[in-house]
Chains A and B, each alone.
Chain A
Amino acid sequence: MDRFNHPPGRMTRRSLLGATGVAGLALMTARSWAQSLYNLGLPGKLSVRPLTTAFPQKGEMVLQRTRPPLLETPMEVFNVGTITPNDRFFVRWHWAAVPEAVDEAAFRLKVRGHVDKEIELTLDQILHDFERIEYQAINQCSGNSRGLFQPSVAGGEWGNGAMGNALWTGIRLKDVLDRAGVKSGAVDVRMGGLDEALMPDAPKFLKSLAVDHARDGEVMIAFAMNKEQLPLLNGFPLRLVVPGWYSTYWVKMLTDIEVLDHPDDQFWMAKAYQIPKTPFGNIAPGTKDFPKEPINRMVPRSFVTNLKDGQLVKPAAPLAISGIAMGGDAGVAKVELSIDDGKSWSAASLGADGGKYAFRRFAGSIATPVSGTMTILARCTNNNGIAQPPAMIWNPGGYMQCGIERTRITVGGGV
């Protein structure tokens, strides 16, 4: 059965019956029908996941994995505004040893290492002893859309929902580093959270920024997300916000900052999260030897959110197209739409500008064909003049997907 017969998204019993066939039906009847399922539209692999409301401080999420928690935001959430609600924001942890409780009074943020004096800050000090900053920024998993890679690669098989945009409030990492006094010769600033590795000698999750990046005045220690304290699963009480960079650097439950006088060469910087040193991290599938670097700045992306892939539409009628775009490490300059596979493009109108690191809505309209199908392409170009590449990219880690998305519509009767 063609895997594209059914639009991705919440599955009805009827579409599920159509998708499973006889063997699947036998299996399904052995279990409960009550469970809602979600089709991520992943090609050539298992594409359906349960929807769950079982996680604390979280609404309905696509369940990728219970432990360590891996929860994806359903795409419908991105069809409303530009801010992703806290209870629908995606969740990703590396190790299962995530504390289920955090005591506000007992919590401390330490700054140590290559500094004049080591310091420990209470949450009260963090809230009141430093100047506050605030901005919207997109938090996107390095492996967002890995499930769309062809050929497939191993890892968390996300659809497009491992991303979100929030208004973050906090203090500058720079100001906290200045309070400890960074010594000359500092190279990297390494961040750690309250989560721990499960096995002795296994690498605790730690990420580093170059000292100049850490002190750029934009990198934030956030204590509020959309004007509320962070959900525990999104990093309560403190999370590093590295605007324009992939989520792997946005260390959750941030409790330890270590200034290093040498490059951070531990596993999570030197071995994990490596991308090919090529435009968009793109290489031909199967390429064995290529120069690598740690993943870093994000690149432009755009998603049509008001239509599902495979959606039935009215013939010969105007059809509104709308969605969200991101510029990556620069603002959204323009979003264009094409219905001839990229031969010609027309500019979409842009919604309110929430800042260079935020989602921005786009909207346009096309006329649907009299019959048959049509494929709608959306392409974002950022203020650095970087446009999304025409085809899906590939690398062995399944990182940094940014190729132009294609949304198929079919003119159908009864719509």
Chain B
Amino acid sequence: MNRTIALAFLASGLMGIAGCSQEKGASFSAGQAVASVGQDFALQSVSVSFPPDKTAEFPAGAGADAINNNCRACHSPAMILTQPPLKHEEWVKEIDKMRTTFKAPVNDADVPAILAYLDNLSARQNEGSLAAPGGAATTK
């Protein structure tokens, strides 16, 4: 950055914006007893529905069946499809964490195919040809 730009701050310093002047805070204790919510405030029972998955299935590719069958019980495909490009050993660690810590019911026989799918996902992301869930391509 050149000196001309560095000097671009106005001579008087930064100009204040109307309505945004410095105010001294009153002495503040977060434990103080006050409430702007009146005693007539009442809670109402709530019943809602969560929406169905936006991207319900992993896009087609080698290993798609294995990942669809094993990796959707606990979370949306989007959780995996929005990960940054990960190295093979990082994906191995993630699968292990899901199985060991979070008790995901993943079949031993499906692990190689799941890993192949994930490695391909990262490879395509690295080369910039992968679409994000919802259809947008990478901004890379």
Binding site for B on A (CB under 8 A): 1, 3, 6, 11, 16, 19-21, 23-24, 27-28, 30-32, 35, 37, 39, 44-50, 52, 54-57, 63-70, 95-96, 98, 100-105, 123, 127-128, 131-135, 137, 147, 152-154, 156-157, 167, 169, 172, 197-203, 216-218, 223-224, 227, 229, 232, 236-237, 243, 267, 271, 318, 320-322, 331, 337, 339-341, 343-344, 346-353, 355-357, 361-369, 372, 374-375
Contact = CB atoms under 8 A, between A and B. Distances in A.
A26 to B, nearest CB: 9
Interface in B83-105: 83-86, 90, 94, 101-105
Contacts of B125: 45-46
Interface of B: 1, 4-6, 8-10, 13-17, 20-26, 28-37, 39, 41-55, 73-76, 78-79, 81-86, 90, 94, 101-105, 125, 129-140
Contact of B132 (A48, A55, A216, A337): A48
Contacts of A375: 1
Contacts of A365: 10, 14-15, 17
Contact of B82 (A31, A46, A201, A357): A46
Contacts of A39: 139
B55 to A, nearest CB: 8
B23 to A, nearest CB: 5
19 contacts: A19-B137, A31-B135, A46-B125, A47-B132, A64-B82, A98-B50, A104-B43, A104-B44, A133-B34, A199-B73, A203-B102, A218-B29, A340-B6, A347-B13, A357-B30, A361-B20, A365-B15, A366-B9, A374-B8
Given A39-B139, A340-B6, A353 B36 contact: no
Contacts of B37: 132, 134, 169, 224, 227
B131 A3 contact: no
Contacts of B43: 104, 123, 127, 223, 229, 236-237
B51 A47 contact: no
A355 B32 CA distance: 12
Contacts of A104: 43-45
A106 to B, nearest CB: 9
